């Protein structure tokens, strides 16, 4: 059972699983023992590349009895059917908000003709097929409630980033007598039918829930400060500025207006969560950043530990590239610079972040498509991994803006890559959102 590590570099300790990790820059064993934390998108991708590079001595430790990470829908709230913490943030009728082209594993596309924005349930089926077709199932250790020790030459941490909700603090919040949840626990709109609901936040989840709820609620009060081409949701939708304070039955906003509400949904994002990391790992991990990481992946102080999925504001294909980079390192396809050199590279990155007026909480971000393209190039230049094409950067630029300009219809378009730098899209709505894996 994978749940909580207590020390790395020497030992990583889960709730009832201890991973002993050899602290060396390069393991010379022909088939090193690798422990992967998490059987979601990132963990499965890293495992696939280990096999591609001839490393078959690995195990994926999964904290639940299911694979797929956050892409698996679970109707339970808080804990699963076994009483274990629920990590998935999936809800009914969720669809991808970026084209599947940017999320498919290399060489493993969706069937020809599939819609570009499939449902989350469909993408989970894709992940399960991927795990089966690449013979990864036998390497996955799901929750067994047993206590044991595992020796590892390398550890790849890929436990996801959507399991630790950010709960904002407001004056009077404890006085409010209605139901308050985070979007992490949102499942479907039926509970909110004909109720007055306050929705807080306009990130991907906040905007998606606005579409889900606006035609169901008696009134949807949406508090956010995003500037975008707001569509007409419904006559019952009300846009409000940031919150000033709560009362027992409602909320005051910064413009001094008041709304009476029955329920509150905070769509306020997620923190990084690595409760299993001890100080001995050399990693400083907060809800907002993880450091110091070379190439946003390698633990500089203990280079036999790697993180896949820490990098923010990027497409999923970046996580896959990180998994391939980690696998190439483990397989001995390239050698890392000295720790001194890696730390120097990282410090230069931090300096560049600060010079742009950002802060340390942005150290794990790639804020633009140019940076994402060059990051791909850096991984390829060092490790010789597959160079993700420049067209992904073009799609990133386009979809970020197109989504905000056409919120209600952007998923009705199909995308196709035509060469290394160009793509095309066309309007092609699919009633019922068919999934090719249901056939």
180 band by pLDDT with thresholds 50, 70 and 90? very high
Q: Does residue 22 carry a pLDDT above 80? A: no
341, 395 contact by CB (below 8 A)? no
User: The tokens of 297 are what?
Assistant: 């992946």
Q: How many alpha carbons fall within 13 Å on the CB side of residue 143?
A: 16
Residue 198 vs residues 219, 224, 300, 350, 408: alpha-carbon distances, Å: 8, 11, 44, 38, 20
What does the angle CA 281 – CA 284 – CA 287 come to, to the nearest 5 degrees? Answer: 125
d(C-alpha 359, C-alpha 362), whole Å: 6
Exposure string (b/e) for 66-85, b if CB count within 10 Å is 16 or more?
bbbbbbbbbeeeeebeeebe
Mean pLDDT of 376-399: 94
Per-residue pLDDT of 276-318, as tens digits, reads 888 889 999 999 999 999 999 999 999 999 999 998 888 889 9
Q: Does residue 25 carry a pLDDT above 70? A: no
Q: Does residue 81 carry a pLDDT above 90? A: no
d(C-alpha 374, C-alpha 286), whole Å: 26
Question: What's residue 99's pLDDT?
Answer: 96
Helix (H, G, I), strand (E, B) or coil at 220: strand
7: nearest Cα among 360, 299, 325:
299
418, 424 contact by CB (below 8 A)? yes
Question: What's residue 325's pLDDT?
Answer: 98
Mean pLDDT of 84-108: 94
Q: How many alpha carbons fall within 13 Å on the CB side of residue 356?
A: 15
Edge-to-edge, what's the strand order for the sheet holding 219-223?
A: 179-182, 263-266, 196-200, 219-223, 237-240
Token look-up 């992946």 returns 297
Per-residue pLDDT of 194-218, as tens digits, reads 999 999 999 999 999 999 999 999 9
Q: Rounded to 10 degrees, what is the CA torsion of 341, 339, 389, 51?
A: 150
d(C-alpha 313, C-alpha 309), whole Å: 11
What does the angle CA 38 – CA 40 – CA 41 come to, to the nearest 5 degrees? Answer: 130
d(C-alpha 97, C-alpha 87), whole Å: 20
Question: What's residue 146's pLDDT?
Answer: 77
Q: For the chain, what percentages of helix, strand and coil (3-state, to nearest 5) are there?
A: 30, 20, 50
Q: Does residue 17 carry a pLDDT above 80? A: no
- What value does the mean pLDDT of the chain take? 92
Per-residue pLDDT of 182-197, as tens digits, reads 999 999 999 999 999 9
Helix (H, G, I), strand (E, B) or coil at 233: coil
- Count of residues for the chain? 439
Task: Check residue 111 and report its DSSP letter.
Answer: P
19, 28 contact by CB (below 8 A)? no
User: The tokens of 261 are what?
Assistant: 């509400």
Q: Does residue 1 carry a pLDDT above 70? A: no
Question: What's residue 20's pLDDT?
Answer: 57
293: nearest Cα among 271, 315, 277:
277
Q: Does residue 331 carry a pLDDT above 50? A: yes
Question: What's residue 432's pLDDT?
Answer: 95
Mean pLDDT of 379-386: 97
Task: Check residue 54 and report its DSSP letter.
Answer: T
265, 200 contact by CB (below 8 A)? yes
d(C-alpha 385, C-alpha 371), whole Å: 18
Question: Kind of pairing, strands 258-260 and 148-152?
Answer: unpaired
Residue 31 vs residues 47, 134, 153, 288, 330: alpha-carbon distances, Å: 14, 19, 10, 35, 9
Question: What's residue 28's pLDDT?
Answer: 53
161, 270 contact by CB (below 8 A)? yes
24 band by pLDDT with thresholds 50, 70 and 90? very low
List the domains of the chain with CATH numbers. Answer: 11-164+270-392 (3.50.50.60), 167-266 (3.50.50.60)
Q: Does residue 153 carry a pLDDT above 70? A: yes
Question: Following DSSP, what letter does each residue of 127-164 receive, concatenated?
Answer: HHHHHHHTT-GGGEE------EEEEESEEEE---SSSE
Q: Does residue 2 carry a pLDDT above 50? A: no
Token look-up 């919040």 returns 173
């Amino acid at each position: 059972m994978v749940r909580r590590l207590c020390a790395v570099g020497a030992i990583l300790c889960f709730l009832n699983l201890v991973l002993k990790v050899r602290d060396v820059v390069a393991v010379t064993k022909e088939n090193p023992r690798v422990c992967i934390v998490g059987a979601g998108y990132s963990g499965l991708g890293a495992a696939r590349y280990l096999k591609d590079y001839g490393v078959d001595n690995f195990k994926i430790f999964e904290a639940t009895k299911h694979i797929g990470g956050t892409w698996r829908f679970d109707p339970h709230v808080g804990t699963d059917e076994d009483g274990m913490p629920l990590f998935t943030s999936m809800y009914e009728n969720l669809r991808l908000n970026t084209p599947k082209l940017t999320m498919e594993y290399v060489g493993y596309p969706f069937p020809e003709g599939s819609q570009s924005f499939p449902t989350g349930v469909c993408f989970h089926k894709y992940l399960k097929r991927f795990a089966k077709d690449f013979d990864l199932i036998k390497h996955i250790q799901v929750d067994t409630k047993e206590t044991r020790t595992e020796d590892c030459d390398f550890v790849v941490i890929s436990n996801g980033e959507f399991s630790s909700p950010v709960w904002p603090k407001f004056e009077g919040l404890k006085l409010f007598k209605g139901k308050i949840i985070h979007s992490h626990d949102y499942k479907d709109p039926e509970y909110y039918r004909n109720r007055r609901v306050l929705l807080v936040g306009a990130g991907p989840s906040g905007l998606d829930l606005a579409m889900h709820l606006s035609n169901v609620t008696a009134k949807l009060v949406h508090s956010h400060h995003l500037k975008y081409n707001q569509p007409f949701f419904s006559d019952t939708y009300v846009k409000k500025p940031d919150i000033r304070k709560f009362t027992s039955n409602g909320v005051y906003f910064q413009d001094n207006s008041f709304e009476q509400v029955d329920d509150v949904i905070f769509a306020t994002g997620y923190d990084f969560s690595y409760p299993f990391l001890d100080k001995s790992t050399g990693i400083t991990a907060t809800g907002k950043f993880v450091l110091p990481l070379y190439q946003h992946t390698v633990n500089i102080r203990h280079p036999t530990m790697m993180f896949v999925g820490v990098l923010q504001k990027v497409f999923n294909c970046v996580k896959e590239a990180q998994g391939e980079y980690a696998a190439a390192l483990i397989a001995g396809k390239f050698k890392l610079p000295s720790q001194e050199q890696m730390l120097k590279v990282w410090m230069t990155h931090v300096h560049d972040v600060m010079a742009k007026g950002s802060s340390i909480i942005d150290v794990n971000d790639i804020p633009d498509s140019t940076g994402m393209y060059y990051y791909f190039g850096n991984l390829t230049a060092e490790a010789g991994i597959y160079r993700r094409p420049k067209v992904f950067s073009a799609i990133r630029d386009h979809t970020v803006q197109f989504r905000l300009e056409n919120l209600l219809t952007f998923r009705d378009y199909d995308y196709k890559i035509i060469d290394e730098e160009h793509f095309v899209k066309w309007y092609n709505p699919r009633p019922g959102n068919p999934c090719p894996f249901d056939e």
